[in-house]
DNA sequence: GCTTCCCCAA
């Protein structure tokens, strides 16, 4: 009987062990708050709510996801928390930007319990103290570490060194470091990067040499083996120079590293990769990684994917991605982001869908990328779906995600929804404000943009150079010349920002669009340094709007000089000549373009009916309902002619006969999309279309008329702004 | 290691 009881108890213990292990597996796979909540429920259901190891793990995972209130509640539910649980909670608060709370947990541990802090406790206490503004807190915690005898311990010591560097107390950092009896790769690294962050490059390099001497001494005498010190130190140095953009030093250190016989590892490659401004260099690093079998490391392949994407080598990026055997969540994100940044939004979205079938779940970074893709593409339906996904997780708390959501709604035409989200965001950073300002700019709502800007200033957020770009951009699209002028000068005199070429281009745009062509020209002539093509191109655009052929000729000559291979200049200039009815001249320019094998980007328009996107090109016959669409257009045209409409074709292709030219304009992709929208939706429904190029003058007129005839609101996003057509009027006030 | 905002032009 006794025997049976004992074995039953053993069996029970075994079962408990198994279940316990299962919970740890569950934790590992819980990537969202809702997963964790379910796991917690399971723990209670199985009667493990007092199992401190499980609760500690739960606290840790909750902290990782930023759910600190929840984590604290778990902590409070434990009758007798041990020092491990205290440590986990301190780490959580530290990680989630609450160093104050972390330190009060620490104080509670020391003052109100009989537990003894261990070295891990001090590691977290020190990093919490580093998060304070006041370095006196740091000194107090350092003092406590001395009292408890942990200040010279390897990890604590390294953290104290790091902390003093953070407060730029280089001397103190040095003292603590020198007193540490044992040093490892991490502590050396801390010392090196500390010097570097305090811009003491000389000291940093000396330290590296010292590390090398110790290394060689150690190897010779066999006293102790710091095998990785040298590798780690070199990696840290290379990484530092690389991220400072100092390619030369970074590469020469790498060479030195190879010559010194130090072992290279995958981190060496990763440290070197952002050097990358030259494709040849990336190829070299790629080849080297291949030879050394570093490509199997997710960190290496992810870095290479990223750098290839940044150099617009998207196929190479995809190759690396496809061939990397050990993908991480970051690998997927890097590839999706690569597609997004290269404008390959369809590929980004389909890879995202593929990812959802894989073992990886999207994280806030993935969501941010995919929202950016939706914004570029203008697919409101997908954007809304992603928004739903965001709501069901706790990704909304990520400032990146919520900012990207605002951008998505603004760029997909729902400026009101964007503003609603903006209003309820508890924490905004400068990018959030910039997004909202440029959103209003995009819709031509200049005054609203200026309101947001002054709200930003009032709430104490410092504007950045990008903020001024967004504001100036909004001014230019709303014709606010005086305001733009004032803001430009306040940027320089009040905020002390040196205007960049982009700022100058914005000002030229403001002046030029408003018809002040001579002032715009003077503006360019007074700008410091050589104006780049973008500035001239802006002025050329203004010449086109205001039909100033003489200035256009001068400007285009500048442009040919600066950038002879650009298609845009040829097209634009030829359009200017045809606007001037100087067809022979226009034909010459076009011929030049043709001779150089330069082609105009084809225009297309997207319309979503329900969840289905439909894409039209000019004169497109491929749509299943093409016949009905063309009939609809014919009918509409009849009604428009009755209302006195005359086609304006002066900005279209000119090297064809008048009648033929009219035909080509007549079937521009946006008209086909609008006609299809009229057929495929209920009367009264708003029609939203997205065009890759700017809408032409004639199509603009026609859309106004269609909105009146059919009593529909038509929202058009063109290459750089929104037009809301209603009752025969456009929100841009014909100013675009 | 991977993320949000940024002139013009087509």
Task: Examine the pLDDT at A584 and tell me if it is beyond 90.
Answer: no
Distance B1 C1' – A266 CA (angstroms): 11
Task: Specify the pairing of strand A687-691 against strand A604-609.
Answer: antiparallel
pLDDT 10s digits, A70-85 = 898 889 888 888 999 9
Highest mean pLDDT among A175-179, A203-207, A652-656, A674-678: A674-678
Task: Examine the pLDDT at A570 and tell me if it is beyond 80.
Answer: no
- Residues lying close to strand B (Cβ under 7 A), chosen from 627-666 of chain A, are none
Q: Binning pLDDT at 50, 70 and 90, where does residue A652 land?
A: very low
Q: Binning pLDDT at 50, 70 and 90, where does residue A340 land?
A: very high
Q: Which nucleotide is nearest to A341 (CA to C1')?
A: B3
Highest mean pLDDT among A227-231, A438-442, A585-589: A438-442
Structure confidence at residue A1 (pLDDT): 41
Residue showing tokens 């990397």: A324
Cα A269 from Cα A333, distance rounded (Å): 20
Query: DSSP code of A529?
Result: S
A555 touches strand B (CB under 7 A): no
A46 touches strand B (CB under 7 A): no
Task: Examine the pLDDT at A257 and tell me if it is beyond 90.
Answer: no
Task: Examine the pLDDT at A676 and tell me if it is beyond 70.
Answer: yes
Alpha carbon separation from A237 to A233, A249, A253, A282 (Å, rounded): 6, 9, 8, 19
- Residues lying close to strand B (Cβ under 7 A), chosen from 418-457 of chain A, are 429-432, 434-435, 438, 442
Residues 6+ apart with CB under 8 A from A239: A270, A271
Distance B1 C1' – A278 CA (angstroms): 20
- Residues lying close to strand B (Cβ under 7 A), chosen from 61-100 of chain A, are none
Cα A593 from Cα A572, distance rounded (Å): 11
Distance B7 C1' – A28 CA (angstroms): 47
Q: Binning pLDDT at 50, 70 and 90, where does residue A18 land?
A: low
Closest listed residue to residue A204, CA positions, set A192, A212, A190: A192
The domains of chain A are located at: 228-274, 276-360, 500-600, 604-730
Q: Binning pLDDT at 50, 70 and 90, where does residue A350 land?
A: very high
Distance B9 C1' – A147 CA (angstroms): 68
Q: Which nucleotide is nearest to A536 (CA to C1')?
A: B8
Least confident of A80-94, A339-353, A651-665, A686-700: A651-665
What CATH number belongs to A500-600?
A: 1.25.40.10
CB atoms within 10 A of CB A84: 17
Task: Examine the pLDDT at A335 and tell me if it is beyond 90.
Answer: yes
Query: DSSP code of A689?
Result: E
A189 touches strand B (CB under 7 A): no
Closest amino acid to nucleotide B9 (CA–C1'): A568
Alpha carbon separation from A506 to A444, A500, A540 (Å, rounded): 15, 10, 13
Cα A590 from Cα A77, distance rounded (Å): 77
Cα A157 from Cα A119, distance rounded (Å): 10
Cα A700 from Cα A719, distance rounded (Å): 14
Structure confidence at residue A577 (pLDDT): 66
> How would you list the strands of the sheet with A714-717, edge to edge?
A612-617, A604-609, A687-691, A714-717, A722-726, A729-730
Structure confidence at residue A333 (pLDDT): 96
CB A109 within 8 A of CB A115: yes
Least confident of A81-85, A148-152, A336-340, A349-353: A148-152
Structure confidence at residue A246 (pLDDT): 76
- Residues lying close to strand B (Cβ under 7 A), chosen from 470-529 of chain A, are 470, 473, 476-477, 501-502, 505-506, 509
Beta-bridge partners for A615: A606
Closest amino acid to nucleotide B8 (CA–C1'): A538
Q: Binning pLDDT at 50, 70 and 90, where does residue A618 land?
A: confident
Distance B2 C1' – A328 CA (angstroms): 10
CB atoms within 10 A of CB A133: 8
């Amino acid at each position: 009987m006794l025997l049976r009881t004992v074995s039953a108890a053993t069996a029970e213990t075994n079962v408990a062990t198994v279940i316990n292990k299962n919970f740890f597996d569950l934790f590992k796979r819980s990537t969202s708050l809702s997963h964790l909540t379910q796991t917690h429920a399971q723990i209670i259901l199985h009667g493990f709510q007092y199992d401190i190891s499980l609760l500690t793990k739960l606290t840790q995972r909750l902290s990782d996801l930023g759910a600190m209130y929840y984590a604290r509640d778990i902590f409070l539910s434990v009758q007798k928390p041990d020092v491990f649980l205290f440590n986990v909670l301190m780490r959580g608060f530290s990680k989630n930007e609450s160093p104050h709370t972390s330190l009060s947990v620490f104080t509670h541990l020391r003052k109100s319990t009989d537990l003894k802090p261990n070295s891990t406790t001090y590691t977290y206490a020190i990093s919490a103290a580093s998060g304070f503004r006041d370095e006196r807190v740091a000194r107090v915690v350092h003092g406590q570490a001395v009292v408890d005898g942990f200040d010279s311990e390897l990890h604590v010591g390294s953290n104290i060194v790091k902390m003093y560097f953070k407060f730029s107390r280089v001397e103190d950092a040095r003292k603590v470091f020198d007193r540490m009896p044992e040093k490892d790769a991490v502590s050396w690294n801390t010392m090196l990067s500390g010097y570097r962050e305090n811009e003491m490059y000389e000291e940093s390099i000396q330290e590296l040499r010292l590390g090398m001497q110790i290394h060689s001494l150690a190897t010779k005498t066999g006293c102790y083996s710091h095998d990785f010190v040298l590798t780690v130190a070199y990696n840290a140095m290379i990484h530092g120079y690389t991220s400072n953009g100092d390619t030369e030093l970074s590469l020469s250190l790498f060479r030195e590293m190879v010559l010194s016989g130090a072992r290279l590892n995958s981190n060496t490659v990763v440290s070197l990769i952002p050097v990358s401004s030259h494709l040849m260099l990336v190829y070299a690093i790629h080849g080297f990684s291949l030879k050394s079998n570093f490509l199997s490391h997710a960190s290496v392949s992810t870095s290479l994917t990223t750098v290839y994407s940044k150099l617009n080598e998207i196929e190479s990026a995809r190759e690396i991605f496809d061939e990397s055997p050990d993908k991480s969540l970051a690998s997927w994100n890097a590839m999706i982001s690569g597609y997004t940044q290269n404008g390959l939004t369809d590929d980004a979205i389909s890879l995202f869908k593929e990812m959802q079938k894989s073992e990886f779940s999207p994280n806030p970074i993935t969501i941010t990328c995919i929202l950016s893709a939706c914004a570029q593409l203008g697919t409101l339906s997908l954007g809304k779906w992603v928004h739903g996904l965001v709501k069901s997780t706790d990704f909304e708390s990520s400032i990146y995600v919520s900012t990207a959501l605002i951008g998505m709604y603004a760029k997909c035409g729902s400026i009101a929804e964007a503003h609603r989200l903006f209003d309820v965001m508890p924490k905004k950073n400068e990018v959030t404000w910039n997004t909202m300002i440029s959103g209003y700019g995009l819709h031509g709502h200049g005054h609203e943009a200026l309101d947001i800007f002054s709200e930003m200033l009032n709430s104490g957020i410092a504007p950045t150079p990008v903020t001024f770009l967004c504001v100036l951009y909004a001014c230019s699209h709303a014709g606010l010349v005086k305001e733009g002028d004032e803001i430009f000068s306040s940027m320089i005199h009040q905020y002390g920002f040196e205007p960049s070429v982009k700022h100058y281009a914005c000002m030229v745009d403001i002046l030029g669009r408003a018809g002040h062509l001579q002032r715009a020209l003077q503006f360019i002539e007074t700008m410091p340094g050589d104006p780049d093509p973008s500035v001239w191109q802006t002025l050329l655009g203004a010449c086109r709007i205001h039909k100033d052929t003489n200035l256009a000729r001068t400007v285009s000559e500048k442009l040919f000089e600066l950038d002879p291979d650009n298609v845009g200049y040829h097209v634009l200039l030829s359009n200017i000549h045809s606007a001037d009815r100087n067809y022979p001249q226009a034909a010459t320019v076009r011929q030049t373009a043709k001779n150089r094998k330069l082609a105009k980007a084809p225009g297309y328009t997207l319309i979503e009916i329900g969840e289905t996107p439909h894409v039209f090109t000019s004169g497109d016959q491929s749509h299943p309902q093409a016949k009905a669409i063309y009939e609809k257009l014919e009918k509409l045209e009849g009604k428009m002619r009755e209302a006195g409409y005359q086609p304006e074709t002066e900005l279209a292709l000119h090297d064809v006969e008048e009648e033929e030219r009219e035909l080509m304009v007549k079937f521009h992709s946006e008209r086909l999309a609008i006609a299809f929208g009229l057929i495929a939706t209920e009367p009264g429904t708003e029609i939203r279309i997205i065009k890759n190029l700017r809408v032409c003058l004639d199509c603009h007129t026609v859309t106004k008329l269609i909105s009146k005839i059919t009593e529909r609101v038509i929202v058009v996003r063109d290459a750089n702004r929104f037009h809301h057509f209603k009752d025969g009027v456009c929100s841009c006030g014909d100013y675009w």
